[in-house]
Amino acid sequence: MKKWFVLFRKEWLEMSRNYKVIWIPLVFVLFGLLQPVTSYYMPEILKNASNLPKGAVIKIPIPSSGEVLAQTLGQFNQMGILVLVLAFMGIVSSEQRSGMMKAILVKPVGYSSYITAKWMSAVLLSGGAIFLGMLASWYYTILLIGDFPFMDIVKGISLYFIWILFLITFTVFLSSFLKSSGLVAAFTLLLSILLTLLTPLLKKWMEWSPAQLTNAAASLFTAGKIEGPFLIPLITTVILTALFLYLAGTRKSSLSRLG
Amino acid sequence: MISQINWALVAPIIAIQVILMIIALVDLFKTEKTNGPKWMWVLIILFINILGPILYFVIGKKHA
């Protein structure tokens, strides 16, 4: 356990050295702040940006606070996932290429603790970033649009975070498996896009889909309660996450491909 | 239009962008190699709104 914490601390040291600890949360806070502000100023932005004929009337109702928060979630689901996957795509594979991994594993540390330390730090950082971003969005939504219960925010973020947890785990899994960081990002993004696109299209067959968790969180924001399947996707997501983490942690043969 | 904007509201957004810009520039000057010429990244970080620093962090750095 002590060795695991040494690896864990080394991971945080590295993430603060390349500023990931600062810029990833800041990006999420920025997107979180922008969403309520653009929703609030949207009528004005349209008035100034488009050259409509005189007398044209645009009436856009200001969305409810729950809708704005669901939009923020949608923003996180596109830009946020892109940023997280690109930031963590090389988490194992780049160390494998640079020889760092070999240097660490000659010491008496297990391959699985090496992977789980990396996984844990990536999960904690992205979880913190999403939480801070949603909190910032919640604060601005309250200021500009209207009140929203704090507990619903916490519940929504927790649900959404499980989907992110799944994607981060998949990134770490692929990164320990593939040599090219670019391929890791491409496959993970493909998976996330396919799941988010197919889930609403094939509702009947995709009830298990981890992407349902995003919909559950969004419906919690807009309707105040979770609509649609929730327990089945939660269970499959947790199982898949555990499976990918296990597979990532037990792949010792990747060492042989080093040379 | 400008006078209607509540600056207290927009100031944190601008502040975060400036911080991101500064971190990206500091990192850029510290690293030896980037993907593509350094002066190009300086321009991207400074002049592409919001996305410039993010682009540098995710694809500008050589992950080695």
- A252: confidence class by pLDDT, cuts 50, 70, 90: low
Mean pLDDT of A66-78: 93
Q: Maximum Cα–Cα distance for chain B, whole Å?
A: 48
Q: Say yes or no for a CB contact (<8 Å) between A23 and B1.
A: no
CA neighbor of A123 nearest in space, from A174, A84, A92, A74 = A84
Interface of B with A (CB under 8 A): 1, 4-5, 9-10, 12-13, 16-17, 19-20, 23-24, 27, 50, 53-54, 57-59, 61, 63-64
Residue A8: inside a domain, yes or no?
yes
For residues A242, A187, A158, A11, the Cα torsion angle rounded to the nearest 10 degrees is: 70
Q: Say yes or no for a CB contact (<8 Å) between A181 and B63.
A: yes
Confidence at residue A108, expressed as pLDDT on a 0 to 100 scale: 84
* Closest chain B residue by Cα to residue A182: B59
Distances (CA, A) of A83 to A37, B41, B54: 21, 18, 8
Residues in chain B closer than 8 A to A29 (CB atoms):
16
Residue A43: inside a domain, yes or no?
no
Q: Is A203 left (phi over 0), alpha (psi -120 to 50) or beta?
A: alpha
- B3: confidence class by pLDDT, cuts 50, 70, 90: low
Q: Say yes or no for a CB contact (<8 Å) between B9 and A143.
A: yes
Of B16, B24, B50, the CB nearest to A29: B16
Asked if the model's pLDDT at residue A255 lies above 60, the reply is no
Spatial separation of the C-alpha atoms in residues A51 and B43, rounded to whole Å:
31
- A16: confidence class by pLDDT, cuts 50, 70, 90: very high
Q: Say yes or no for a CB contact (<8 Å) between B20 and A27.
A: yes
Spatial separation of the C-alpha atoms in residues B24 and A203, rounded to whole Å:
43
Q: Is A213 left (phi over 0), alpha (psi -120 to 50) or beta?
A: alpha
| Shortest Cα distance, chain B CAs vs residue A215, angstroms | 27
Residue A41: inside a domain, yes or no?
no
Spatial separation of the C-alpha atoms in residues B22 and B15, rounded to whole Å:
11
Confidence at residue A251, expressed as pLDDT on a 0 to 100 scale: 67
Please state the φ and ψ torsions of residue B19, each to the nearest 5 degrees. Answer: -60, -45
- Model confidence over A92-111: pLDDT tens digits? 888 888 888 888 888 888 88
Spatial separation of the C-alpha atoms in residues A95 and A97, rounded to whole Å:
5
Residue A241: inside a domain, yes or no?
yes
Burial A20-34 (b: 16+ CB within 10 A, else e): bbebbbbbbbbbbbb
Q: Are A241 and A250 in contact (CB under 8 A)?
A: no
Residue A53: inside a domain, yes or no?
no
Q: Say yes or no for a CB contact (<8 Å) between B27 and A97.
A: no
Which residues lie closer than 8 Å to A183 by C-beta, 6 or more apart? A174
Domain housing A217: 2-36+63-254
Mean predicted lDDT score pLDDT of chain A = 89
Residue A25: inside a domain, yes or no?
yes
Mean pLDDT of B7-15: 88
- Model confidence over A18-68: pLDDT tens digits? 899 999 999 999 999 999 999 888 877 777 776 777 777 777 777 899 999
CA neighbor of B53 nearest in space, from B29, B30, B14, B19 = B19
A154 in contact with chain B, both atoms CB, cutoff 8 A: no
Q: Say yes or no for a CB contact (<8 Å) between B54 and A44.
A: no
* Closest chain B residue by Cα to residue A18: B27
How many CB atoms within 10 Å of residue A159? Answer: 23
Q: How many domains does chain A have?
A: 1
Of A83, A143, A144, the CB nearest to B54: A83
Asked if the model's pLDDT at residue A207 lies above 70, the reply is yes
Residue A134: inside a domain, yes or no?
yes
* Closest chain B residue by Cα to residue A141: B9
Mean pLDDT of B13-29: 93
* Closest chain B residue by Cα to residue A83: B58
Spatial separation of the C-alpha atoms in residues A179 and A92, rounded to whole Å:
9
A90 in contact with chain B, both atoms CB, cutoff 8 A: yes
- A259: confidence class by pLDDT, cuts 50, 70, 90: very low
How many CB atoms within 10 Å of residue B5? Answer: 12
Lowest model confidence (mean pLDDT) among A95-99, A164-168, A242-246? A95-99
A18 in contact with chain B, both atoms CB, cutoff 8 A: yes
Q: Report the run of H or E that residue A258 belongs to, with start and end.
A: none
